[in-house]
Amino acid sequence: MSGHALDHDGPRRLLDDPDLGRVLSALAGEGEATRVVGGSVRDALLGRVGDDIDLTTTLRPEAVIARAARNGLRAVPTGIEHGTVTLLAGRKTFEVTTLREDVETDGRHAVVRFGRDFALDAQRRDFTINALSLAPDGTLHDTTGGVADLRAGRVRFIGDAPTRIREDALRVLRFFRFQARYGGETPDPEGLAACIAARGALDGLSRERVRAEFLKLLMAPGAVAALTTLSETGLLMRLTGGIGDLGRFARSLADASGGASRPRDIDRLAVLAVFSQADAERLRLGLRLSKAEHAALIGYARALIALHGRASIDGPEMRRLAAAHGTAGLSLAARATRGEPRPTWTPAACAYLADLIAGIAAPPVLPIAGADLVARGVPPGPEIGRRLAETGALWLAQGCPEGEAAREALLQRATA
């Protein structure tokens, strides 16, 4: 199993953050203790220091607020019923949560009480690599074996895996998401078995929570391997309501010739799970997608259907496709199907698509509008739309000609 080389100076660099220092100083003293916890500590050990820093403390929420006020820090009770207060220092925010112990869980909501034991607080977290904590003096605390697991590339539930999942069924999906980002070649066998056994619990989760985790998984470096395991175990069908095309998904990631420089999670979802407009609608409902996200899936589906069945695509056909479907959906569909037996792409088509993606060229636009027809004597109303549709179809069939002569010919046809 491949693992990670750890950066043991990373935690020290994390503590060098002056804004974090202000927060730790404000919460220090009088028999209380506060530590940096969770993902920021894990990532620091991997040489990554970001702005998303969480802390856990023996102080109760009201004491956190009071100390923040005395030290000129703004406090926002973002989750005070769960013991969480957000502190603002400089331009950064820090979530400070009072140590907690689980009392009971039902798979969706946990009943907790405040505590003072860092080890017990660590036991209620999901995976060992997320349970690390860092004291202000630089001492790294690891009561669950997280450092060894991080080094080994092993995503492992804390304690009994089925119990951790019963506490929150979303941990099934989080297991695969963290495996895709931090895991090695093979998932932890106990964790994988527990996730498969608990697959029915996914149906009881809110679609919004599933959506957030699944889209993050799609963006992880090991997404292909994680999705392969999800597909083989039948879990992918439960999450998306359909099958996934892992070949297209992998090719779209490997092909650097298309798409924006920064990939979008909705594009990866499209390539994985959309084959028709019906798939886009199912995913909209199943994952509570926004209107913009749904529109992106629809655009991809239409472009995919337009490519389907074509033996080859040359330069003029590429122009027609760009005019009908725009750059985003077409470039994504081209990237997903590249390498499949049909269609084949001529050099001219590839060059034009590359220019579209780079912004050197723009999709052709029908050079006449309704106002032009009205100016030529066509009465406003439904007739305008009918004539524009007919003329637009002719324009596409002609290869989207440009220039004043082409525009005049279209106007004469539309107003005849």
With contact defined as beta carbons under 8 Å apart, do 112 and 82 qualify? yes
Across residues 26-35, what is the average pLDDT? 94
Give the pLDDT score at 141: 98
Q: What are 86's strand-pairing partners?
A: 76, 95
- Token representation of residue 119: 């080890």
Among candidate residues 135, 162, 163, 182, the one with its CA nearest the CA of residue 20: 135
Cα 169 to chain centroid, rounded: 19
**Is the pLDDT reported for residue 256 higher than 90?**
no
**Is the pLDDT reported for residue 306 higher than 80?**
yes
CATH classification code of 155-239 = 1.10.3090.10
Could you give the CA distance from residue 27 to residue 102 in angstroms, rounded to a whole number?
A: 24
Among candidate residues 103, 25, 89, 88, the one with its CA nearest the CA of residue 57: 25
Across residues 52-60, what is the average pLDDT? 95
Could you give the CA distance from residue 331 to residue 263 in angstroms, rounded to a whole number?
A: 13
Fold of 1-154: Beta Polymerase; domain 2 (3.30.460)
- 176-230: per-residue pLDDT in tens? 999 999 998 899 999 999 999 999 999 999 999 999 999 999 999 999 999 999 9
Share of the chain above pLDDT 90, in %: 82
Establish whether the linkage from the previous residue to 343 is cis, with ω within 30° of 0.
yes
Per-residue pLDDT band for 1 (boundaries 50, 70, 90) equals: very low
Give the pLDDT score at 416: 85
Among candidate residues 141, 138, 139, the one with its CA nearest the CA of residue 125: 141
CB count in 10 Å sphere of residue 14? 21
- Token representation of residue 282: 């199912």
Could you give the CA distance from residue 40 to residue 140 in angstroms, rounded to a whole number?
A: 12
Give the pLDDT score at 101: 79
Give the pLDDT score at 342: 86
Could you give the CA distance from residue 113 to residue 122 in angstroms, rounded to a whole number?
A: 14
Across residues 21-26, what is the average pLDDT? 97
Could you give the CA distance from residue 415 to residue 396 in angstroms, rounded to a whole number?
A: 18
Close Cβ partners of 148 (under 8 Å, ≥ 6 residues apart): 154
- Arithmetic mean of pLDDT over the chain: 92
Could you give the CA distance from residue 28 to residue 58 in angstroms, rounded to a whole number?
A: 10
Give the pLDDT score at 111: 60
Give the pLDDT score at 96: 97
- 343-366: per-residue pLDDT in tens? 999 999 999 999 998 899 999 999
**Is the pLDDT reported for residue 393 higher than 80?**
yes
Could you give the CA distance from residue 404 to residue 367 in angstroms, rounded to a whole number?
A: 9
Share of the chain above pLDDT 70, in %: 95
Dihedral of the alpha carbons of 156, 159, 161, 164, in degrees to the nearest 10: -110
Across residues 328-356, what is the average pLDDT? 91
Per-residue pLDDT band for 257 (boundaries 50, 70, 90) equals: very low
Which pTM was predicted? 0.87
